[in-house]
Structure 1
Amino acid sequence: MNSAIHASTVEATGKAAAADAYVSVMTALAGSFDALTPAQWDLDTECTGWTVRHLAAHLLGAQEDALAMPTVLWRRVRGRRRYPHLSLLDAANQVQVDDHAGLSAAELCSAYRDNIAKVARRVATFPRVLAGLAVDKTMAPGNVPLRLGCLFNVIYLRDAWMHGFDLAGATGQPRAATTADALVLGQIMRDTATAWGDGPAVELVLAGELSGTWQLGDGDPQALLRADGIELCRSLSGRVAETGIATVSGDPGLAERLGAVRILF
């Protein structure tokens, strides 16, 4: 009996579930930031050009974006003007970092922790009429408009969650597991299935901290693939070129195809 979860059947994350997940993810991050030594704040991360301090500034900025829609839009306007060589989202993220350049590590930690309950409440009560507003024409899975509901319920949550792994990798601190791990991994696999499209079906076994068995594509799997769950997420986000996806059986070209898939984080 095939126990794989068909990734395309994973339901979109609703605002109530997202709000609960934010509390778990952000509380874990706040604890990790509080535990940093002064020297660790200046360590480089896997995010190009960012130190740990920059990472914290970005995450604080993401909280502020979730709390005020005009902030989201204004940062995108400034990002487009200031960083025309970057994507709209990357440019806005860099503006988040710029906006908090003057804060100390202690101030970043305090502000981030103070915002956790506010963000969760905002996400849980976000008006449906605003959730449908598009902030970019093509950035959502399937090359469709990225809407505020998806940005808040999925992308900002996934981004904060993945930065927990970035922080652990940069500092050597263990990353605290969160109650949102399964939900966010499901989001990721759902969007991966969208990006995979109508290609040949594959069964993917994830091992390690993020484990499970998933199917991408419809029909009988044409390959059985295996990967470390964290490394797959790093690949899907564009953090690494070497995916570590192994072909257990079937067409090895499908492992290469999965290694080329990228989704929005």
Structure 2
Amino acid sequence: MYRLPVINETDVRALPGIGRREAIELAAAENAAFIAELKALPPVAWDGITDCDPWTVKDVAAHVLGWAEAAMSWREFRHQMAAALRGWRSNPVHAQNALQVEERKHLTPDEVVERLEVALPALLCLRRRLSLPGRLIPLYNPLFGLTTLSFAMDVIFTRDVFAHRIDVATSAGTELSVGPNDRRIFADCLRHWARNTQANLRFELDGPLDGNYLIGKGSVASVRGRGTDLVRVLAGRLAPEELTIEGDRERALAWLAVPCPF
């Protein structure tokens, strides 16, 4: 796994992208962290509403489970794709996500965790097999446009689990347990976002995802807040105005309004 440099300020533009081998390592670590987080929740936390309103913590876990189980079964995959096609005129991803949650409403929290412990490793095996040939398979998603199956499997799926770990922690009122894998995923999100926006900012972040990050020359504005809140902003879960901005506020808010694919 690529280790972020231990310096006072990280220029995200200089960071390398996530390669195939590292992607698998990050996914395995993130999956394990997600399951550990769910196992540590008290029963009452599973009914808490998340930033993905009206989803509860259990719904978020069921959504992650739904994606993984689609990879385990061709029949389940076709079933979910049919739901996506039926929702094509509005939002196919939302239609598929809604099906994943609705069809797993009957599961108890323990059952969700047990099935995740089987499904997530199975999905990881599929990702290993498809990562290289997946570079040749185009994929369109309304959230991030035209890309490849490899990008979705190597990057987006892991970011999705990472963001949902923050959703769970925020809802449950717990502190996110952060390891090198989380910092690497977070920095790669900022690198991707910086490339898409051509922003010119400094991030001075505290909390479990603390750190100082340079975007461009960093001369237009400084943005301060919790690192987890910045993820929530870039994922469309939190308004950019919740962060503290010094400098050209209008330009900073315009950049922060551009989402990063999760």
Q: 1:109 aligns with which of 91, 94, 113?
A: 113
Q: Which amino acid aligns with 2:36?
A: G
Change (3 A) 1:137 1:105: closer
Select between 12-21 and 152-161 the one with higher mean Cα deviation. Answer: 12-21
Q: Distance in 1 between matches of 2:133 and 2:197?
A: 30
Q: Distance in 2 between matches of 1:66 and 1:16?
A: 20
1:204 aligned partner? 203
1:53: Cα distance to partner? 1.6
Structure 1 SS opposite 2:52 = coil
Structure 2 contact 20–131 (Cα < 8 Å) conserved: no
Q: Distance in 1 between matches of 2:131 and 2:182?
A: 26
1:25 aligned partner? 30
Q: Distance in 1 between matches of 2:135 and 2:47?
A: 37
Select between 152-161 and 179-188 the one with higher mean Cα deviation. Answer: 179-188
**Normalising by the residue count of structure 1, what TM-score does the alignment of the two structures yield?**
0.83
Structure 2: give runs of 5+ residues left out of the alignment.
Answer: 1-6
Q: Which amino acid aligns with 1:35?
A: A
Q: Distance in 1 between matches of 2:92 and 2:185?
A: 23
Q: Distance in 1 between matches of 2:223 and 2:240?
A: 15
Q: Distance in 2 between matches of 1:220 and 1:169?
A: 29
RMSD: 2.7
1:80 aligned partner? 85
2:4 aligned partner? none
1:69: Cα distance to partner? 7.5
Select between 237-246 and 18-27 the one with higher mean Cα deviation. Answer: 237-246
Runs of at least 4 residues of structure 1 off by over 6 A? none
Q: Distance in 1 between matches of 2:218 and 2:42?
A: 51
Are residue 162 (structure 1) and residue 159 (structure 2) matched? no
Are residue 121 (structure 1) and residue 125 (structure 2) matched? yes
Q: Distance in 2 between matches of 1:113 and 1:88?
A: 27
1:243: Cα distance to partner? 3.8
Q: Distance in 2 between matches of 1:151 and 1:222?
A: 32
Q: Which amino acid aligns with 2:231?
A: C
Are residue 47 (structure 1) and residue 52 (structure 2) matched? yes
For residues 237-265 of structure 1, the C-alpha deviation after alignment (integer angstroms, 9 at most, x for no partner) is 110114433334x4333322233121221
1:167: Cα distance to partner? 0.9
1:257 aligned partner? 254
Structure 1 contact 60–111 (Cα < 8 Å) conserved: yes
Are residue 38 (structure 1) and residue 35 (structure 2) matched? no
Q: Provide the identity percentage.
A: 23
How many residues align structurally? 256
Q: Distance in 1 between matches of 2:83 and 2:71?
A: 17
1:72: Cα distance to partner? 5.2
2:191 aligned partner? 190
Q: Distance in 2 between matches of 1:62 and 1:75?
A: 9
Q: Distance in 1 between matches of 2:58 and 2:161?
A: 14
1:153 aligned partner? 154
2:221 aligned partner? 223
2:243 aligned partner? 245
